[in-house]
C-alpha cells in the first residue's frame, strides 16, 4: 500500500511539473490620450484606463504570470492629455503596471526631449530597435527580456518606417531603419537569451499600397517574410481583429483603438515552446443600441458585463482631468448642424468641417488657397454649444499655420500627389479657395478662386506646418519660400467660429470631385 502511494505521488508530481505554464499578455494600442471614459454616437461612457486596470488586476490576483504591453501611439488625441504632454497617460500606465511600450509615430509629434521626459514619468521602457539619430545612435532600448513564471520572454520594439514622412518635424535627422532587416538582425541574439520572442510593433496590419514616398513594413508582411517570431503585438492601423492571425507560425494581434478593447492573449508554454494559445479583444463597457423607449430616451445593453473603475487609477486620472478643464469648457460658439469630421469621411472626400477649417485658415492669413490633410481632422463637432475643448479634439496636434509662396506649377505638383492618394489615407487633401476634379488619378479643371489656375502666377498658400514641413508625403512643399505665422491652427478655427457665431449651415458643396 505504501509503495502504491509513493508511485501515485510520483505520478502526480511529474504531472504537475509537466503541466504547461499559463502566461497572459494584455495589450492595447493607439490609445491617443483616451485615459478617461468617453462617449461615441450610440455608445456612451466607454473605455477608460481605470476599467482596463480592473481587468488586469483581477487576472494578477489569480495568475502572477502576466505581461502588459502597449503597441504605441499613446500621444495626441484628447485635450486634457495633449495640454499636459501626455503625462496623464504615462503616469496612469505606470501605476497600471505596463511593462513596455513600442514607440508609435505619434510619439514623435513632439520634440525628442519630450518623449524622453515621458519615458521618465512612465517608469517603463519605450522600445524602438529601428529608430536611430542622425549620427546612428539608439536613444531607446531595442528590446527587453522579462522572466514570466520561469519563461523568458523577449520583447523587441519596432516603429513604422512611415514615421519618417508622417512626423518629420522633430526628427532632427533621425531615421527609421527597415523593420524586416532590423528584426532579422536581433533574432539570433534573442533566440539565445529567450524562450519566446515577441515583436511589439507599431506597424499596421494589411494593405498593399505604399503611400507617402516611403516603403513600410506591415505586421502581416513581417510575419510572412521573417521566420522565428512567435508573436507580433501590433498597432498603427487601428485594426480591431475578431481573431488572432496565424501567419507563418507567428501569432499576430491588434486590438483597435482608444482603449475601447483590451487585447488578451493566453499562452500555454512547455519546454520554452508555445503549445497552445487563445486570444480575444475584451470590450471595455461597449454597448448595443436598442432604440428609444416610449419617452424618447435611448436604450442600451452592455455587450459584456459592465466593468467597474479601479479607484486608485481613477483618482490619478481624475486629478489630471481637472487641470485646465475650466478654460477648455468655455463656450465659444454654436452649431445647429453636425460638422462632419468622421475619420472615414475626412480621409476620402470633402466635408463641411474640412471646408470650415480651410476657410478659417484663409480668413486668418489672407491666403489665396488653403490646404489641410484629412488625417489632421480627428473628430466631428456635434450640434449644440461649441467649446474650445471640442476644437482641440478636432485639431489635437498643436499645429501652427504656415504661409508659402507658390507658383501655379508648384501647386499642381501638390495636386498631382494628392490625386493619387486612395480613399482612407490621412494624406487625403482638403482645400479652400480652390476646386478641381480627379480623373484617372490626375487633377483636371483646377480653379483658383473661380478662375483657371495660372501655372506662372504666384499664389499665397497657407497650410498647417505639418504638411508644410513635408508631412504625409507632401515633400514638394518643404523648402519653398514661406514662413510660420505662429498662429496655432486650433486657435485660428476657434477665432473663426467666434466670428461666425451660430452656425445655421455651412458650405457642403464638393470642392474635390472624384470622377469614376
**Residue pair 289/44 in contact by the 8 Å Cβ criterion:** no
CA atoms within 13 A on the CB side of 411: 31
Q: Which three cell numbers stand for residue 51?
A: 476599467
Q: Where in the chain is the domain with CATH 3.90.780.10?
A: 331-514
User: Beta-strand (E) ranges in 223-377?
Assistant: 231-235, 245-247, 250-253, 261-270, 273-283, 287-292, 298-302, 331-335, 369-373
Q: Following CA atoms 117, 123, 129, 130 in sequence, which dihedral angle do they give, to the nearest 10 degrees?
A: -30
Helix then strand then coil, in percent of the chain rounded to 5, is 30, 30, 35
C-alpha cell at 63: 495568475
CATH number attached to the domain at 331-514: 3.90.780.10
Instruction: Please compute Rg for the chain using Cα positions.
Output: 25
- pTM (2 d.p.): 0.76
Q: What dotted CATH number matches 19-322?
A: 3.60.21.10
Phi/psi for 279 (5° steps) reads -140, 145
Give the C-alpha separation, 234 to 34, whole Å: 18
The CA angle 346-104-354, to the nearest 5 degrees, is 15
Domain span(s) for CATH 3.60.21.10 in the chain: 19-322
C-alpha cell at 441: 488619378
pLDDT digit string (tens) for the chain, length 516 residues: 555 455 444 444 444 456 899 999 999 999 999 999 998 878 999 999 999 999 999 999 999 999 999 999 999 878 888 878 999 999 999 999 999 999 999 899 889 999 999 999 999 999 999 999 999 999 999 999 999 999 999 999 999 998 987 778 789 999 999 999 999 999 999 999 999 999 999 999 986 434 445 689 999 999 999 999 999 999 998 999 999 999 999 999 999 999 999 999 999 999 999 999 999 999 999 988 888 888 888 888 898 999 999 999 999 999 999 986 777 888 999 999 999 999 999 999 999 999 999 999 999 999 999 999 999 999 999 999 999 999 999 999 878 899 999 999 999 999 999 999 999 999 999 999 999 999 999 999 999 999 999 999 999 999 999 999 999 999 999 989 888 877 789 989 999 999 999 999 999 999 999 987
Amino acid at each position: 500500500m505504501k509503495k502504491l502511494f509513493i508511485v501515485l505521488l510520483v505520478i502526480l508530481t511529474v504531472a504537475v511539473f509537466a503541466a504547461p505554464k499559463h502566461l497572459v499578455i494584455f495589450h492595447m494600442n493607439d490609445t491617443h490620450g483616451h485615459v478617461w471614459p468617453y462617449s461615441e454616437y450610440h455608445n456612451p461612457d466607454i473605455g477608460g484606463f481605470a476599467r482596463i486596470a480592473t481587468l488586469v488586476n483581477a487576472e494578477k490576483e489569480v495568475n502572477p504570470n502576466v505581461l502588459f504591453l502597449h503597441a504605441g501611439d499613446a500621444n495626441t488625441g484628447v485635450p486634457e492629455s495633449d495640454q499636459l504632454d501626455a503625462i496623464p497617460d504615462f503616469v496612469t500606465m505606470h501605476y497600471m503596471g505596463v511593462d513596455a511600450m513600442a514607440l508609435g509615430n505619434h510619439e514623435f509629434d513632439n520634440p525628442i526631449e519630450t518623449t524622453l521626459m515621458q519615458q521618465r514619468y512612465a517608469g517603463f521602457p519605450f522600445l524602438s530597435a529601428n529608430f536611430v539619430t542622425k549620427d546612428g545612435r539608439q536613444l531607446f532600448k531595442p528590446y527587453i527580456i522579462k522572466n514570466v513564471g520561469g519563461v523568458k520572454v523577449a520583447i523587441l520594439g519596432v516603429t513604422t518606417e512611415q514615421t519618417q514622412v508622417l512626423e518629420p518635424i522633430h526628427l532632427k535627422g533621425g531615421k527609421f531603419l527597415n523593420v524586416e532587416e532590423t528584426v532579422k538582425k536581433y533574432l539570433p541574439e534573442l533566440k539565445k537569451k529567450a524562450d519566446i520572442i515577441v515583436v511589439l510593433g507599431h506597424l499596421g496590419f494589411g494593405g498593399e499600397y505604399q503611400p507617402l514616398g516611403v516603403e513600410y513594413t506591415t505586421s502581416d508582411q513581417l510575419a510572412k517574410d521573417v521566420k522565428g517570431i512567435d508573436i507580433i503585438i501590433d498597432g498603427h492601423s487601428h485594426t480591431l481583429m475578431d481573431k488572432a492571425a496565424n501567419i507563418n507560425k507567428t501569432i499576430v494581434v491588434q486590438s483597435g483603438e482608444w482603449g475601447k478593447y483590451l487585447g488578451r492573449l493566453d499562452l500555454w508554454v512547455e519546454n520554452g515552446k508555445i503549445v497552445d494559445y487563445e486570444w480575444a479583444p475584451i470590450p471595455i463597457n461597449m454597448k448595443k443600441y436598442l432604440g428609444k423607449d416610449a419617452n424618447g430616451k435611448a436604450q442600451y445593453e452592455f455587450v459584456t458585463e459592465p466593468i467597474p473603475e479601479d479607484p486608485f487609477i481613477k483618482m490619478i486620472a481624475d486629478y489630471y482631468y481637472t487641470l485646465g478643464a475650466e478654460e477648455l469648457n468655455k463656450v465659444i460658439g454654436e452649431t445647429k448642424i453636425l460638422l462632419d469630421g468622421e475619420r472615414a469621411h475626412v480621409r476620402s472626400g470633402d466635408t463641411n468641417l474640412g471646408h470650415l477649417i480651410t476657410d478659417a485658415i484663409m480668413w486668418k492669413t489672407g491666403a489665396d488657397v488653403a490646404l489641410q490633410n484629412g488625417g489632421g481632422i480627428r473628430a466631428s463637432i456635434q450640434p449644440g454649444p461649441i467649446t474650445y475643448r471640442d476644437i482641440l479634439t478636432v485639431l489635437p496636434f498643436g499645429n501652427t499655420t504656415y504661409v508659402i509662396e507658390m507658383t501655379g506649377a508648384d501647386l499642381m505638383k501638390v495636386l498631382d500627389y494628392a490625386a493619387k492618394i486612395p480613399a482612407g489615407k490621412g494624406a487625403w487633401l482638403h482645400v479652400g479657395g480652390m476646386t478641381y476634379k480627379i480623373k484617372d488619378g490626375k487633377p483636371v479643371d483646377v480653379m483658383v478662386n473661380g478662375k483657371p489656375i495660372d501655372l506662372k502666377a504666384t499664389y499665397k498658400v497657407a497650410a498647417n506646418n505639418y504638411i508644410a514641413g513635408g508631412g504625409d508625403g507632401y515633400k514638394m512643399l518643404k523648402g519653398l519660400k514661406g514662413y510660420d505665422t505662429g498662429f496655432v491652427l486650433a486657435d485660428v478655427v476657434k477665432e473663426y467660429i467666434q466670428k461666425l457665431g451660430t452656425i445655421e449651415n455651412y458650405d457642403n458643396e464638393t470642392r474635390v470631385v472624384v470622377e469614376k
